[in-house]
Amino acid sequence: MFGGSPAVKHELKRYNVIGGEELEAAKSVIETGVLSQFLGCWDEDFYGGSKIRAFEHAWRQYFNAEHAVTVNSNTSGLMASLGALGLEPGDEVIVSPWTMCASATSILVWNAIPVFADIEADTFNLDPVSIEKNISKKTKAIMVTDIFGHPAMLDEIMAIAARNNLKVIEDVAQAPGAYYKGRFAGTVADVGVFSLNYHKHIHTGEGGVCVTNDASLAERMQLIRNHAEAVVEDKGVDNLVNMLGFNFRMGEIEAAIGIEQLKKLDKQVNRSIYVADRMSEGLAGLKGLRTPVVKSDCTHVYYVYPLVYDAELTGVSRTRLVEVLSAEGVSISGGYQNVHLLPIFQKKIAYGSRGFPWRMDGEESDVSYDKGICPVAEKLHDESFLCLPMCLYEFTDEDVDSVIEAFHKVWRHMDGI
């Protein structure tokens, strides 16, 4: 910033989990010529080809879930799982403002209404107290995200759901392999939805997997994945609610790659934890900086490395801090996002121009997306939250040490900044 050399001296190596095993797996599929074996009718191939089935089998075994349904993205999986619950237009689903937008838009896809509850200041996950405050007569489900890699308060949330007769979908895109009280995140709620998008711990380019122990939900997700309307009659499915189909099918190449990727999940998760622990040790004690919180009986798999900064204790604004750390070569950003403040919710314009589904049948939903409904999330975003991406770079020990040194250098010079 003031002319010296930056603490992080070279560009970090791009995170890459794809190797020879994936190359061979993809090649073996290509050699067969059968790149997808799904058929959108009631046929043996309704469930997909051999790689899809083998991948789903491996996923079930690894996560100890009774059913695994592959899809072409986590977004598709969220849509399939919410549809499977049997949501009616106008039903409300409680969701976090701190998640990727798909957790909320997948609710709108079924013409249901997202209702944003606030988050906890320590793990940034949905706050059970705020969930309860937001339950109305119309609430049918809770969409809970394990944000940044730390599981949400799943027992408390499942208990709230049980008391209020709600279903729970867990968006576990950022927390594959995280543990919650001895169980894998994603296997606690009614359905857990994983992402295999390029940016995650492990990936197949694009892809996702839904897991559940509920056979009926699994069947309904399989139907929504694959042209339900053309299948229900021959399959003998009586419940036609939300049985309008999409094409959410994963290809055989992605499934073959996924089988290899799953074998690497444990290693990639341990690598994230190792890097984050080293970071936390190095950053401990810096005035006004709070390193990540990990609750007892949980593991944090650090999709990103979240920090909370108190500018009042240092006298340097967060904006200025990000500027200075960036000048030192640290890839860091201030704030996260508050999904409720996106234009789609602010203007309540989604389908067409007349406010559907908030406005339908001559009635208007009273749900509010005003700034102020999620004070904890909004304040963190506006003032104190910082994050370092963890699945963007490889992070050798030297890389981590140089990032730590950048923070210490900045803190040593706080007075001059």
Closer CB to ligand PLP, 96 or 314, in the complex: 96
Burial of residue 79 (number of CB atoms within 10 Å: 0-12, 13-18, 19+): buried
Contact between 316 and 322 (Cβ < 8 Å) = no
Question: Residue 36 interacts with ligand PLP (CB under 6 A)?
Answer: no
Site residues (CB under 6 A) for ligand PLP, limited to 304-333: none
Min CB(417)–ligand PLP separation in Å: 33
**Residue 260 C-beta: closest distance to ligand PLP, Å:** 18
Owner of token pair 């770079």:
393
Minimum CB distance to ligand PLP smaller for 119 or for 410: 119
Strand partners, 143: 95, 169
Exposure string over 93-105, b if 16+ CB within 10 A, otherwise e = bbbbbbbbebbbb
* Among 29, 169, 173, 404, interactor with ligand PLP by CB under 6 A: 173
Applying CB under 6 A, among 75, 272, 314, 402 the residue interacting with ligand PLP is 75
105 binds ligand PLP (CB under 6 A): no
Binding range to ligand PLP, per CB under 6 A, among 97-105, 307-315, 331-339, 384-392:
97-105
Asked whether position 74 contacts ligand PLP by CB under 6 A, the answer is yes
Q: Site mask, ligand PLP, residues 113-152, x = CB under 6 A?
A: --------------------------------x-------
One of 36, 37, 70, 99 touching ligand PLP (CB under 6 A) = 99
Distances in Å between the Cα of 143 and the Cα atoms of 146, 190, 201, 283, 393 are: 10, 10, 21, 33, 30
What's the min distance (Å) between Cβ of 203 and ligand PLP?
A: 9
Residue 103: CB minimum distance to ligand PLP, A: 5
Residue with tokens 């995170």: 15
The CA angle 12-417-331, to the nearest 5 degrees, is: 15
Q: Does 272 bind ligand PLP (CB under 6 A)?
A: no
Nearest to 79 by CA among 87, 67, 68, 89: 87
CA 197, CA 31: separation in Å to the nearest integer? 24
Residues in 376-405 at the binding interface with ligand PLP, rule: CB under 6 A: none
Of 85 and 324, the one with the shorter C-beta distance to ligand PLP is 85
In the bound state with ligand PLP, the residue whose beta carbon lies nearer, of 119 and 289, is: 119
Q: What is the CA radius of gyration of the chain?
A: 22
Tell me which of 197, 326, 331, 365 binds ligand PLP, using CB under 6 A. 197
* Tokens linked to 172: 């576990």
288/389 with CB nearer ligand PLP: 389
The answer to the question of residue 171 lying near ligand PLP (CB under 6 A) is yes
Nearer to ligand PLP, 80 or 173 (CB): 173
Closer CB to ligand PLP, 226 or 314, in the complex: 226
Residues in binding contact with ligand PLP, number by CB under 6 A: 14
Q: Which of 73, 81, 134, 314 binds ligand PLP (CB under 6 A)?
A: 73
To the nearest whole angstrom, how small is the minimum distance from the Cβ of residue 336 to ligand PLP?
Answer: 11
The answer to the question of residue 255 lying near ligand PLP (CB under 6 A) is no
Shortest Cβ 246–ligand PLP spacing (Å):
13
354 vs 82, 89, 101, 365, CA distance in Å? 24, 16, 22, 13
Position among 49, 83, 176, 208 found at the interface with ligand PLP (CB under 6 A): 208
Applying CB under 6 A, the residues found at the interface with ligand PLP are: 73-75, 99-100, 102-103, 145, 171, 173-174, 195, 197, 208
